[in-house]
Structures are given as C-alpha cells and as structure tokens.
Structure 1
Amino acid sequence: MDPPTTTPPPSPPTHDDPTTPSSMVTTSLTPSEQDDLTIKQTQEIELEITTTTPLITPHPLPLGPTLLPLYTSDPIYTSKVHTICKTFTKIRRTRPDGNCFYRAVLFRLFEVGCEGEEFHKKLEDKWKSWKGVLVEAGYTQFTVEDFYDHFGESLSTLTTSTPPLDLPSLYFTSPATCDYLTVFLRILTAAELTRNSSFYSNFLTTAPTMEEFTKLEVEPMGKEADHLQISALAAVLGVGIKIIYMDRGEDSEELVEHLFPEGEGEYPIVLLYRPGHYDLIY
C-alpha cells in the first residue's frame, strides 16, 4: 500500500465550514478562473481556521455557556443543548479541519491513560498487537514503522503522574507532532477495515471497493469520519466510543446516541457530533 501523507494538498472545505466557496463564484468567470477563485477562497478559509482555532482547547470549557450562544435564534438546537447539559457539563473543542474525530479520540485515549495504570497498560498491550494488524492488512514495515514507533514512544511517556492538562502542550500544540499521531490512527482504522473487509464491505456506500474507500476516505488527512470509520477504530482500539448526535434529524429535544461497539460495557470516549464536526464532552 502507498504510504499516507501527513500534509496533503488543500482539500475542499468540509461540512465544518459554514461558508461554501463555490456559492460565491461569479458565473461570468471562465471555468479556469472559477477553479482558481475556488482554490483561493478555500485556502483563505483553511488559513482562518488554522490561525483562529487551536487543535484542541487547553482546558475543558463549560458546555452550556460554550454552545448556547451559537444557537440563540434556533429553538431546536437550544433545547438540545439544554438536554445534553442534564448529563454532561464540560466540552473540549477541536479544530474543525476534517481530523476532529481522530484528534478527539487520540486526546481522550491519552487522557484516560494518564488517569489510570490499568487503562494505560491495556493501551500499551494493544499497541504491541497493532504491528500484526498492520502487516495482516498489507502494510509494509517501511510504510508505517515511523508512525507506529512514534505512537508507542508517546504512550511510554504517559504515566499517572502526568497531569492531563499538560497533554495539549505535549502533543496537541504543534500540528507536526499531533498529525503524526493522527495519521497513525487513520492507518490503524484503514487496516481494520481492510483485514475484515468481508464484514465492513457490506456497509460501503461511497466507494465500490474497500481498498478504494480506505485510500480516498480514511488514510488522507482532512477526511471526516462516519459510522464505518468509527466502528473500525473502536474495534481495533478495543475501547468503547459513544457518540451523542445533536442535529436536526428530529425536530425535538430528543438526542440520538450511538455506541461503538453496540452492547453493554464502558465507553470512556464520549463525543458530541454536530453536523460535520466532533468535540469531546465530559
């Protein structure tokens, strides 16, 4: 398999972005000029996101006061925020760049790893098994060795004496450091989908083959995660992920909750999904 890249060329804005550059294109321009304008506008939006939003907020924020101002004119979303606040009190925002799901999962893995020796040991044991997972999926050692080793080295620095609030400065301030770890989670997700493609292929909707899906929708940075990627990552990590969906799917205050994997168990990673974006909630 071709090695994934850590810094791909600019991609079109995801659903995280409230502005769609193509809607601003002037129809009097030639197709070439329209393309150039779209690229320029996309780059401007991406630059604004990068310069104004941290990879992840250094401290958990109060959930209600953080989200309610965003929906002052929307009674449905306002009601749903109040419903969420009955169970959760804090939110840790992530940069809306298409990598928010993987980054949020990564942060919470490390955070829980600092909070308890048992979970940290479980995570280290899992990491040792992942080399076999990658080989089984067809990755060469040369392709993934640096990402695998860097993840393991990062795990080894985590102890219960590491204050969780130090994590943002250690791993989530520099894009170069954070992206290396994020790429590894993407590779791991792709490997799980590939080695168990006979099962996961039943749920493919955006690509004809699993190989094409992983190359287009999983490995590249900036690609959002959906149910298939979430299911695969939860399975290969061996860690439960709970997603609280806050969207306009139902015009009521009721919230949809999905568990990965389904069933009874602990779900130490809880994410809030709003259209096109994931944040950590506590």
Structure 2
Amino acid sequence: MATGGDVVADGQDQTRPTWDSGGDAVVEAGAGSETGNAPAAATGETSVSDRPTDEEILAQQNQIRAEQAQKSEYVGFEEPMSALKEEYINGNQNFVQKIGKLESSYSTFRRTRGDGNCFFRGFIYAYLESLLLTHDLAECNRFTSVVQSWKARLVEGGFQELVFEDAMDLLLEQVKELTKPNTNFTHERLLVNMRDDTVSNLVVMLLRLITSCEVQRREDFFFPFILGMYDEPPATVELFCQRHVEPMGEESDHLHIVAVTEALQIPVRVVYLDSSGMPTGGGGSGLDATCHDFVPDSCASGTRPRVHLLYRPGHYDILYPKGG
C-alpha cells in the first residue's frame, strides 16, 4: 500500500505498472532442486515433481503483480497518450493503432494502482477532479444530497453506521471544500488525499458498500447479470456481493459500473482497449477502441459523461478528453 504523504516531484514515474504490458507474465524456474539433485537438463531426465504446478505458477505471477503494484501510487500524474503508446510500440500493434486513434479525442491519461480497486479509485478521483475544474456548485450539492441519502439505505441493507460513517464524512468533506468561496482546494491537495492510505481506501470501501447495497436493492435486475458471469454463479445476490463486490481488491466489471453509476447518478464513459480486430497496414486508418457510456436512467437524454476511464484487460486508468 502507498503510505500517503507528500506528492513526489513531477516527472518521476511512480505509477507505471510494468506487468501491464499486454502480454503474459513470464516466471523463471530455479536451476535445480533444493534437495541437491542435479538439474534435469544435466541428467537427461525430467523430474515431474520438480516442476511447479499451474496453481503455483499462477500464485507466483499474482505475487509478482502485487509486489509491483505496491511500488506505484494509488493515483499517478497526468501523462501524454504517447507514453501509453510507448508501452506497446514493440509489442501489441492492435493496442498501438487503437491508442493512436484515441489521441484524436484524448490528450492525457492518469494511471491508477493495479490493486483490484482501480475502477472505484479512478472513478471517484476523476469525478472529484471534474468538480474541482468546473466549480459546479449545483452538482456538488446534488452529489452531497445523494450520498447522504445512502446512509439510511445502507443501514436498512444491514450495514452498521459505525462501519461507513467516517468514510462518508471523508468523501463529503472533499466536496464541501469545493463549495467554499475562494476555495484553496487544489489539484495537489486532492492528489495527496487520494494517495493517503486512510482517505483513499475508506472512500473506496464506501463505494463498494453502496454498490453492494444497490445490487441487492435491485436484485431482480442484477441477478441475470450474475448468472451470465460465472459457470457456477453464487446462489444469491447477497452471496455474490459478499464475495465479489464488498471485499477490497476484488476487480470490477460491467455489473459494478452499472450499479455505482446508477446509485450515485454519475454518467461514465469506459473506453475498452483490447486485442480485438486485425491491425491495418501502414496506409490504413487504424482500429477504433470500443466505447461504452453508462448513463443512469435518472439523467436527461443527451447527458454527457462526467468521468472517462480507459479499460485494459484487468485494469482501469483515467482519460482526459481534449478541450475538457
């Protein structure tokens, strides 16, 4: 986990997830066994017992990813889209061409830590940043009212107020600062707050509880999603939420996005960067990344997304449209 505190000097790469390169991680086995036996290559024999199992290889890969994630900040600095393209320039050309097309619409992006909480963290940071940039007092007041209304719903849903009240206060305090006349709440302060272990993780926890409560309140709507997500889906919506929504570090997907955007009435656009399609030749126009808008039913027709996120397999970062 990040320890929070001062923001490091701009220009240092604090957030680059070296494991997220579009390819599979490679795990090297040791040269010999711990028992002193000669390596299989030297004896001409293959020892099945010395080979790691698939489960052991996967566990090691996950450990490597977790260790690398710990080295990055919860939320990084803005970077040009060219920095994202550079990650794949010698690898996945589908990604390179799609990023090239995205450069016409997006000027920069911001990395989030790949710890399983990247969607919720990127979502709330981008939203608070939009309030900071626009000084939209009406939206600040609307959001405050919506969040406060969730206190009674969470209690009704079985969550103890003691569990979430500090997190709710922390989130609303960020918004309150933005509504003060001549506020001195700056980007740097927002970044410091969202890099702080306590503030950042409590806010993510609150969003997870709200998402869980929304899914359970609308069980009839969400249960078909759950049935389609797993070969052996949890027997109940409540069990699904306990396993896949409420715990920190559980990755988010379509269902989580629908639930939290509806619960907080915040429209979001997710740009999906994957390997689908075939790269075009040198004179081709390139591939388009798929975009999906999650617009709550309560929003007026034609409402534009307030938050833009970039999805790469297993990870979300923040995108910044050109012209704001």
Q: Same-fold call, TM > 0.5?
A: yes
TM-aligned CA deviation for residue 40 of structure 1: 6.3
Aligned to 1:163: 186
Aligned to 2:37: none
C-alpha contact 1:109 1:269 (8 A) present in aligned 2? yes
**Structure 1 position 152 matched with structure 2 position 172:** yes
CA distance in structure 2 between the aligned counterparts of 1:178 and 1:140, rounded to whole angstroms: 20
**Structure 1 position 87 matched with structure 2 position 102:** no
Aligned to 1:251: 278
Change (3 A) 1:183 1:161: same
TM-aligned CA deviation for residue 188 of structure 1: 0.9
Higher Cα radius of gyration = 2
Q: Which moved more, 1:18-27 or 1:244-253?
A: 18-27
Aligned AA (2:165): E
Q: Give 1:47-58 correspondences, 5 Å limit.
A: 47-51=67-71, 53-57=72-76
CA distance in structure 2 between the aligned counterparts of 1:20 and 1:110, rounded to whole angstroms: 34
Aligned to 1:6: none
Change (3 A) 1:72 1:35: closer
TM-aligned CA deviation for residue 149 of structure 1: 2.8
C-alpha contact 1:77 1:246 (8 A) present in aligned 2? yes
TM-aligned CA deviation for residue 48 of structure 1: 2.5
Q: Alpha-carbon deviations, 1:28-68, whole Å to 9, x = none?
A: 2599x9978865664454223212x21111x32111x2111
Aligned to 1:210: 237
C-alpha contact 2:210 2:263 (8 A) present in aligned 1? yes
Aligned AA (2:84): L
Change (3 A) 1:28 1:146: same
Change (3 A) 1:139 1:66: same
1:99 to 117, 129, 146: 117
How many percent identity over aligned positions? 27
1:132 to 114, 130, 152: 152
Aligned AA (1:277): H
- Consecutive unaligned residues in structure 1, runs of 5 or more: 1-14
C-alpha contact 2:167 2:199 (8 A) present in aligned 1? no
More helix, by proportion: 1
C-alpha contact 1:94 1:104 (8 A) present in aligned 2? yes
Aligned to 1:28: 49
Q: Secondary structure at the match of 2:292?
A: strand
In the superposition, the TM-score normalised over structure 1's length comes to 0.82
Aligned to 2:15: none
Aligned AA (1:225): S
**Structure 1 position 264 matched with structure 2 position 284:** no
TM-aligned CA deviation for residue 189 of structure 1: 0.7
In the superposition, the TM-score normalised over structure 2's length comes to 0.72
2:215 to 185, 193, 198: 193
CA distance in structure 1 between the aligned counterparts of 2:95 and 2:168, rounded to whole angstroms: 40
TM-aligned CA deviation for residue 110 of structure 1: 1.4
CA distance in structure 2 between the aligned counterparts of 1:272 and 1:34, rounded to whole angstroms: 30
Aligned to 1:178: 200
Aligned AA (2:148): K
C-alpha contact 1:183 1:219 (8 A) present in aligned 2? yes
CA distance in structure 2 between the aligned counterparts of 1:274 and 1:119, rounded to whole angstroms: 30
Aligned residues: 263
Q: Secondary structure at the match of 2:75?
A: coil
Change (3 A) 1:38 1:76: closer
Q: Secondary structure at the match of 1:60?
A: strand
Aligned to 2:5: none
C-alpha contact 2:170 2:199 (8 A) present in aligned 1? no
Change (3 A) 1:35 1:245: closer
CA distance in structure 1 between the aligned counterparts of 2:105 and 2:63, rounded to whole angstroms: 38
Aligned to 2:38: none
- Consecutive unaligned residues in structure 2, runs of 5 or more: 1-18, 34-47, 280-286
Change (3 A) 1:46 1:19: farther
**Structure 1 position 108 matched with structure 2 position 126:** yes
Aligned AA (2:49): S
